[in-house]
Structure 1
């Protein structure tokens, strides 16, 4: 690969050439997993890039993406980057007042929104982008569909005009915004930086095209771009999107991923689900469970605990096949840390700088060696 391979779109093109018909990503829709090959994914990226280019999108401009995790959001980000632009990710679940203020301070000309709620929010904020595409048409009525909004599925097919790749290694690939005490704060990540950070993760954890990853946490977080999207393009594994955030636990159990990325809130939520299912303290069943799950348990207790408790618990949580469990953001609290260690799931912190956590606030990641189980 040449020097242009130091960009995310170049790695997409590489995977499409090397592994054309292998599955790149899947998305659960109405209970059924839909798959895109690497070739199909690249064609979708070029389709969106052609539409952006025809609307005047130029290198250095931003595509605002206001969406939960779904393929269209990822495709839109790669399309903007293909044209030398930047993907500005916003989480629809964040507080709307601050988010609206941020967007009003930006030059919002190009927006990919998830659906009705996000389009309504944009119009409540009196934002009128020249290019507005929505991914989910459910609930949209004619009045909202008018005014320039176009359904993703109705974007024109790739025409005869070429869409040359314009991304450069030094270009910004993603930007994340928040309002701070001194005004609008920005956090940029270049293509070269993302790929440089991703390579040690791919190499040290032996990530390959055989992995199944689940993109279930907040999409508008830099940890997603740094520890999941960039490694996905480098290693060429399958990236899976749940049907909805509300179904992510069920979809995880069904999928059985080998690679997961979560925050303290993610792992804490899974731990809380287990606590809700445990027998009451003091009962015979609870005493047996505590005996089998105790740290430093003997061979008998450990064997019984693995067969009767730990393995079923891992399956219930959907981590029975997990080989690499990553933690982005602040460290786990002591109880959650101890639980996953006893459960047999090695949660690995990854060194880094500041990231947006799931609540939308900046937080500093703890630098943990990959050999440390937390």
Structure 2
């Protein structure tokens, strides 16, 4: 743990970091039984899309749980996850729930001082950190880190996905800086039985999202604003006749020409299959969603 000698509180308040996913394992087992060969998770790695079927996800969770147990993880243990949301992180989260230990997430952009304070308060027994530079900050605090490959052991690589299976996935391009994000992802993914897709990196998120053309976006309030800025940059400049045409189409989609224009623009944005955007209730000072997003948005208190 921390090499600094600080007096720790007898009981740390960790509510803000705790992840609770009731019935998650039961739901995972359900989909592995009724749809074992259907895609559960999709992730782009080294320029290629890979897929985990529901049965693959369940088997990996069981292997990871065995690996965690061998690393001394028990019902009394506390695991902290930090990094981008992708299959490894989700499966490890479920493995910790399989054993019954406590699960926390830390933002993956903490400065060293904030990280030190969080570790001092939370006192994790185990930690999994993805980013190489961030890992060094944790090691400097005396925190030993888990290695995913060691936990999982020798298994077959995920299947390369040459073409999309039937149905369009949910989409996430977030990380643990979205405090409630992991609970949101696990709940929607395991309740719906839809596959959940992730980009290769934050820099490729826009391109990868257009390739996937998802049916639903799971977004924090901050990410929704970034998406709105991205959409605005892809449309014609404000004041031009092309922009006025786009705005006219979204305002009056009931007529044939406007509907055609709107659908073409949605296709360019990768929204041709989009049905909803999940977003926690936005802050009072946040900018309203642009017209191209507001029709999909579902505010959740």
The 3 A distance-change label for structure 1 pair 227 and 64 is closer
Pair 1:272 & 2:229 matched: yes
**For residue 257 of structure 2, what is the aligned residue in structure 1?**
304
Q: Tell me if the contact between 2:64 and 2:151 (Cα under 8 Å) persists in the aligned partners.
A: no
Q: Tell me if the contact between 2:86 and 2:198 (Cα under 8 Å) persists in the aligned partners.
A: yes
**For residue 156 of structure 1, what is the aligned residue in structure 2?**
153
What is the CA distance between 1:59 and its match in structure 2?
0.7
**For residue 72 of structure 2, what is the aligned residue in structure 1?**
56
What is the CA distance between 1:122 and its match in structure 2?
0.9
Pair 1:118 & 2:99 matched: no
The whole-number CA distance in structure 2 between the counterparts of 1:6 and 1:265 is 26
Between stretches 92-101 and 70-79, larger displacement belongs to 92-101
Give the TM-score of the pair, scaled to structure 2.
Answer: 0.79
**For residue 181 of structure 1, what is the aligned residue in structure 2?**
none
Give the TM-score of the pair, scaled to structure 1.
Answer: 0.64
The gaps in structure 1 that reach 5 residues or longer are: 136-151, 159-208, 352-374
Q: Tell me if the contact between 1:212 and 1:258 (Cα under 8 Å) persists in the aligned partners.
A: yes
Aligned pair partner of 1:22 in 20, 35, 38: 38
The whole-number CA distance in structure 1 between the counterparts of 2:276 and 2:227 is 16
What is the CA distance between 1:313 and its match in structure 2?
2.7
The whole-number CA distance in structure 2 between the counterparts of 1:324 and 1:284 is 29
What is the CA distance between 1:331 and its match in structure 2?
5.3
What is the CA distance between 1:306 and its match in structure 2?
2.7
What is the CA distance between 1:253 and its match in structure 2?
0.4
Pair 1:245 & 2:199 matched: no
What is the CA distance between 1:98 and its match in structure 2?
1.2
**For residue 358 of structure 1, what is the aligned residue in structure 2?**
none
Pair 1:340 & 2:290 matched: no
The whole-number CA distance in structure 1 between the counterparts of 2:189 and 2:239 is 46
SS at match of 1:133: coil
Q: Please list the CA deviations of residues 190-226 of structure 1 after superposition, one character each: whole Å capped at 9, or x if unmatched.
A: xxxxxxxxxxxxxxxxxxx955111212345354334
Q: CA RMSD in A?
A: 2.8
**For residue 350 of structure 1, what is the aligned residue in structure 2?**
300
The whole-number CA distance in structure 2 between the counterparts of 1:329 and 1:80 is 29
What is the CA distance between 1:25 and its match in structure 2?
0.7
Q: 1:1-374 residue pairs with structure 2 within 5 A?
A: 7-124=23-140, 126-129=141-144, 132-135=145-148, 152=149, 155-157=152-154, 210=167, 212-293=169-250, 295=251, 297=252, 302-308=255-261, 310-330=262-282, 333=286, 335-341=288-294, 345-351=295-301
What is the CA distance between 1:10 and its match in structure 2?
2.2
The whole-number CA distance in structure 2 between the counterparts of 1:231 and 1:298 is 29
Q: Tell me if the contact between 2:109 and 2:177 (Cα under 8 Å) persists in the aligned partners.
A: no
Q: Tell me if the contact between 2:65 and 2:96 (Cα under 8 Å) persists in the aligned partners.
A: yes
What is the CA distance between 1:281 and its match in structure 2?
4.1
The 3 A distance-change label for structure 1 pair 305 and 111 is same
Aligned residues: 270
Q: Please list the CA deviations of residues 160-181 of structure 1 after superposition, one character each: whole Å capped at 9, or x if unmatched.
A: xxxxxxxxxxxxxxxxxxxxxx
SS at match of 2:142: coil
What is the CA distance between 1:254 and its match in structure 2?
0.3
Higher strand share: 1
The 3 A distance-change label for structure 1 pair 106 and 222 is closer
The 3 A distance-change label for structure 1 pair 99 and 14 is same
The whole-number CA distance in structure 1 between the counterparts of 2:57 and 2:244 is 51
Between stretches 96-105 and 55-64, larger displacement belongs to 96-105
